[in-house]
Amino acid sequence: MTLPESNSPAQKLDRSDTRLRHDEGLSGALRGFIDRVRSGELGLLPVAVGLVVISIVFSILNPVFLAPNNLVNLLFDASAIGFIALGVVCVLLLGEIDLSVGSMSGLASAMIGVLWVRSGLPMPIAVTGALAAGAAVGLVYAMLRNRFGMPSFVATLAGLLALLGAQLYLLGPSGSINLPFTSPLVRFGQVMVMPDWFSHLLALLPGAFLLVSGLRKMSLRSAANLSYETASLLILRAFTLTLGLQFAVYYLNQGRGIPWMFAIFVMFVMIMHYALKRTKWGRSVYAVGGNPEAARRAGINVERIRMSAFVLCSMFATVGGILGAARLASASQQAGTADVNLNAIAAAVIGGTSLFGGRGTAWAALFGILVIQAISNGLTLLNLSSSLRYMITGGVLAIAVIIDSMARQSRASHGRG
Amino acid sequence: MQGTSDAKDCILRLRGISKQFGAVSALSDIELDVHAGEVVALVGDNGAGKSTLVKVLAGVHQPSTGTIEWCGERVTLDTPSRALDLGIATVYQDLSLCENLDVVANLFLGQELSPFALDEIQMEVRAWTLLQELSARIPSVREPIASLSGGQRQTVAIARSLLLDPKVIMLDEPTAALGVAQTAEVLNLIERVRDRGHGVILISHNMEDVRAVADRIVVLRLGRNNGVFDADTSQSDLVAAITGATDNSVSRRHARTTASQEG
């Protein structure tokens, strides 16, 4: 790969307008970042600040919080609800919402319990059955929205009750079914971690990918006579990322190690990120979230996009429910109730997905759930009662929505919609 | 004026188009010709049937009677996509842009290159080429639409309609929400689109804009043709054709100014 020698702005196709300021190099990147934040494009800034504040406060109150094994537990706990949050991101991007993800996950765990343990069906068939149920629920929501114009928050609020009823009905009077501890599913949810060497190897991949794809993009853009990021900046970013990841992996390996469940969750986040940012389907999702009428006139099948998002959301909730059951080794009446619903939605919003549609990324699910789970984990370590935990989590959600609304106003006043 | 319709380059020809909504005749017996490289202005009062005619041409409404000829062949425009496929592009009054997406994404919305691995670089190059052909002044195609001015948004909407290289483009009130400089920019753009050999149908309330760029002015009144004029026609004649009255405040003012100039 040969790097072009000149990157002077004058001759580039996209740099010919003299009114545009050209941010070059490291200082330029920094200046661009500050400008974006000031105009309300917060990105992952609230999450980063939130995680730092949470870490400082909780580790002062109880030093165990930052211990490697506690963080490993945190990752185990985060994965199940993280999957649910990933689904919530899909519907939020359309400006819709699914309030029944908690109940859906509870129903999925009940189905696993009944189909697998009580009826003795093979585990994969039980999982497939639960996923099919999730897809069916998503289809119903999409039909209610598309055919009858029913606002999704009402449809899914009704679904919240109906699915909870189905979960209680399935579990019957006994109320809870224990999953066998030695089964692969429960081991996956409770103990399976990566070998140290493998986790270090995996942690090299993101940086390497960043570097290779960045260099490829650079040569393609220069061939097309467009401006491109300088190589030094790219190398710096890849290096910092790799260093950070290697340190995180090393630290977690001081404890039990990286849970496979968390690695699979991150993999799905990456797949969804690709689907949303680099495919026509993802572009259509953002378009429908931004302006459904414009999307329709551009020839996008708005109803089918909505259907895909609702189905994905319910299916991710199903996956989250199954993993949650695996984590607890039981399918109970409590699964998916209480704060699961709100935690999943709060995670998506805290991660930067707008409630107003059209803004956010799949990474919101990952970073949002880390914040939510860190708070919940820290409060548990302090032996606080669940009443206080609910109040504090509620407050955090309120703050996240306030930040979202304020960023939106700031974008509007800076002419960035 | 209608006599020029015999020319070979006539791409769109409407004959006897009528449209009934229940008991209401929104259009009756409309004739309209559009040639390549020509700006046809469609003017008329509220309720004159302009929007209905636009929707008939965009494939949103089907005419009750009448024929549409496209490059000499009779066609039916039964869906919006049929009209698009033939080469009739519409720029709606509300522009239909997604404010959260950038200029490139909006230009290619629904027409993205390589759907499973979007070719951002190729799309960006084509976006710049298209915008430069229109001498459009957009500082960056990677900014969200929300950060653009009204005139720039109008430019993006027009550029988007040109992406599929249509033969006729319809502009519904393109200057209604714009300031003086931006209006001038859009009118320049319309002339450049015409010079590229596209036929343009311009719907507008603003007589000055219409007379500035139109080659022919077709007046609709109460769903009927009410005359075809050229760009030199005086304002008062146009207003008379639109309102159906020769005596109104515009004609009286015209008379006064003429009288004062003479006197």
pLDDT above 80 for B32: yes
- Is A291 within 8 Å of chain B by CB? yes
Residue A78 lies in a domain: yes
Reported as a single tens digit per residue, the pLDDT across A350-383 is 888 988 899 999 999 999 999 999 998 999 899 8
ipTM of the shown complex: 0.86
Give the chain A residue whose CA is nearest to the CA of B141.
Answer: A14
Give the whole-angstrom CA distance, residue A359 versus residue B102: 12
Q: Give the residue ranges of DSSP H helices in B74-179.
A: 80-86, 103-107, 120-133, 150-162
Torsion of CA A357, A361, A367, A369, to 10 degrees: 50
Tokens of B153: 């948004």
Distances (CA, A) of B175 to A255, A391, B262: 66, 53, 34
3 state DSSP class of B232: coil
pLDDT at A356: 87
Chain A residue with the nearest C-alpha to that of B97: A294
Which residue reads 């993993």 in tokens? A323
Which pLDDT belongs to residue A416? 63
pLDDT mean over B50-76: 89
Gap between the Cα atoms of B46 and B142, Å rounded:
38
The answer to whether the CB atoms of A17 and B140 lie below 8 A apart is yes
Check CB contact under 8 Å for B81 and A416. no
Residue B5 has pLDDT above 60, yes or no: no
Kindly state the tokens that stand for A289: 């979230």
Amino acid letter, residue A133: A
Mean pLDDT score, A48-75: 93
In whole numbers, what is the pLDDT of chain A averaged over residues? 89
Using a CB–CB cutoff of 8 Å, tell me whether A21 touches chain B: no
CA A20 – CA A14 distance, rounded (Å): 10
Distance CA B190, CA B211 (A): 13
Q: Residue B11 has which token pair?
A: 């791409």
Q: Assess whether pLDDT exceeds 50 at residue B154.
A: yes
Residue A281 belongs to some domain of the structure: yes
CB atoms A294 and B117 under 8 Å: no
Cβ–Cβ under 8 Å, residues A81 and A339: no
Instruction: For residue A297, tell me if it sits in a domain.
Output: yes
Per-residue pLDDT of A138-161, as tens digits, reads 999 999 999 999 999 999 999 999
Same domain, A241 and A353: no
- pLDDT interval class at A1 (50, 70, 90): very low
- Look up residue A11 and give its two tokens: 């001759």
B39 three-class SS: strand
Pick the residue from chain B with its C-alpha nearest to A39.
B147
| Claim to verify: residue A239 and residue A280 sit in the same structural domain | no
- Rounded Cα distance between A152 and A88, Å, is 12
Average pLDDT over residues A218-233: 87
* One domain for residues A185 and A230: no
Per DSSP bridges, beta strands B65-70 and B39-44 are unpaired
Burial degree of B195 (CB within 10 A; 0-12, 13-18, 19+): exposed
Mean pLDDT throughout B230-246? Answer: 82
Q: Is the pLDDT of residue B48 over 70?
A: yes
Q: What is the reported pLDDT for A22?
A: 65
Do residue A227 and residue A347 come from a single domain?
no
Q: DSSP class of residue A116?
A: I
Per the CB < 8 A criterion, the answer to whether A317 and A84 are in contact is: yes
The answer to whether residue A304 scores a pLDDT higher than 90 is yes
Domain CATH for A182: 1.10.3470
Residue A281 reports pLDDT greater than 90: yes
Q: Hey, are the CB atoms on B142 and A298 less than 8 Å from each other?
A: no
Return d(Cα A327, Cα A330) in angstroms, integer: 8
Q: Is B42 within 8 Å of B49 (Cβ atoms)?
A: no
d(Cα B153, Cα B174) in Å, to the nearest integer?
10
Crossing angle of helices A386-413/A363-381, nearest 10°?
150
In this predicted model, what pLDDT tens digit does every residue of B101-136 receive, in sequence order? 999 999 999 889 889 999 999 999 999 988 887 777
Do A265 and A237 lie in one domain? The reply is no
With bands split at pLDDT 50, 70 and 90, how would you rate the model's confidence at A21?
low
First-to-last C-alpha distance (Å) of chain A: 39
Summarised one tens digit per residue, pLDDT across range B169-224 is 999 988 887 778 778 888 888 998 899 888 999 998 888 888 889 999 999 988 88
Tell me the shortest Cα–Cα distance from B32 to chain A, in angstroms: 25
**B89 and B162 Cβ atoms separated by less than 8 Å:** yes
Nearest Cα of chain B lies from the Cα of A335 at a distance, in angstroms, of 37
Q: For residue A62, give both structure tokens.
A: 């109880």
- In this structure, the answer to whether residues A174 and A230 fall within a common structural domain is no
Of A220, A300, A411, the CB nearest to B110: A300
- Domain region containing A202: 194-255
Q: pLDDT band at residue B65, thresholds of 50, 70 and 90? A: very high
The residue with tokens 């984990």 is A377
- Top pLDDT among A25 and B104 is at B104
Whether residue A84 is contained in a domain is answered as yes
CA distances from A240 to A33, A206, A245, A258, A262 (A): 17, 11, 9, 20, 22
Question: What is the spatial distance between Cα B79 and Cα B76, in angstroms, rounded to a whole number?
Answer: 9
* Residue A40 clears pLDDT 80, i.e. is over it: no
Q: Does any domain span residue A27?
A: no
The Cα A142–Cα A266 span in angstroms is 27
Q: Which of B84, B118, B121 sits opposite A278 (nearest CB)?
A: B118
Give domain B2-97+166-232's CATH architecture: 3-Layer(aba) Sandwich (3.40)
**Interchain contact, A417 vs B92, CB within 8 Å:** no
**Where a domain ends, among A204, A224, A255?**
A255
Question: Are A73 and A156 in the same domain?
Answer: yes
What type of residue is B75?
A: V
Q: How confident is the model over A88-112, as a mean pLDDT?
A: 96
C-alpha closest to that of B198 among B228, B158, B231, B230:
B158
- The β-bridge partners of B168 are B88, B199
Residue A20 has pLDDT above 70, yes or no: no
**Do residues B123 and B104 make contact, with C-beta atoms less than 8 angstroms apart?**
yes
> The tokens 């483009």 sit on which residue?
B169
**Cβ neighbours of A287 in B, within 8 Å:** 98, 101, 105, 109
Alpha-carbon distance of A302 to A282, in angstroms, equals 12
pLDDT at B163 over 80: yes
A373-389 in b/e form (b: 16+ CB < 10 A) is: bbbbbbbebeeeeeeeb
- Asked whether residue A214 falls in the same domain as residue A77, the answer is no
Same domain, A307 and A378: yes
Residue predicted with more confidence, A291 or B259: A291
The shortest C-alpha distance from A257 to chain B (Å) reads: 34
Question: What is the model's pLDDT at position A19?
Answer: 65
Contacts of B84 in chain A (CB under 8 A): 299
**Band of residue B234 on the pLDDT scale cut at 50, 70, 90:** confident
Q: Establish, for the pair of chains A and B, how many residue pairs have beta carbons separated by less than 8 Å.
A: 103
User: For residue B40, what are its two tokens?
Assistant: 């046809």
**CB-CB contact of B90 with B157 (8 Å):** no
Torsion angle defined by CA atoms of residues A82, A83, A87 and A88, in that order, rounded to the nearest 10 degrees: -20
Q: Min CA distance, A376 vs chain B (Å)?
A: 33
Residues A51 and A184 in one domain: yes
Last residue of a domain, one of A236, A255, A274: A255
Together in a domain, A293 and A215? no
Phi and psi based region of residue A192 (left: phi greater than 0; alpha: psi -120 to 50; beta: remaining): beta
* Residue A396 CB contacts under 8 Å (≥ 6 apart), including other chains: A346, A350, A371, A372, A375
Give the Cα separation of A146 and A303 in Å (integer).
6
Q: Rg of chain A over CA atoms, in angstroms?
A: 23
Task: Say which residues have a Cβ less than 8 Å from residue A2's Cβ, sequence separation at least 6.
Answer: A219
Question: Closest by alpha carbon to B89, among B148, B34, B143?
Answer: B34
Do A270 and A153 sit in the same domain of this protein?
yes
Q: Is residue A158 part of a domain?
A: yes
Whether pLDDT at A285 is above 90: yes
Cβ A294–B96 below 8 Å, yes or no? Answer: yes
Confidence bin at A24 (pLDDT 50/70/90): low
Domain ranges of chain B: 2-97+166-232
Examine residue A37 and state whether it is found in any structural domain, yes or no. no
Q: How far is CA A345 from the centre of its chain?
A: 10
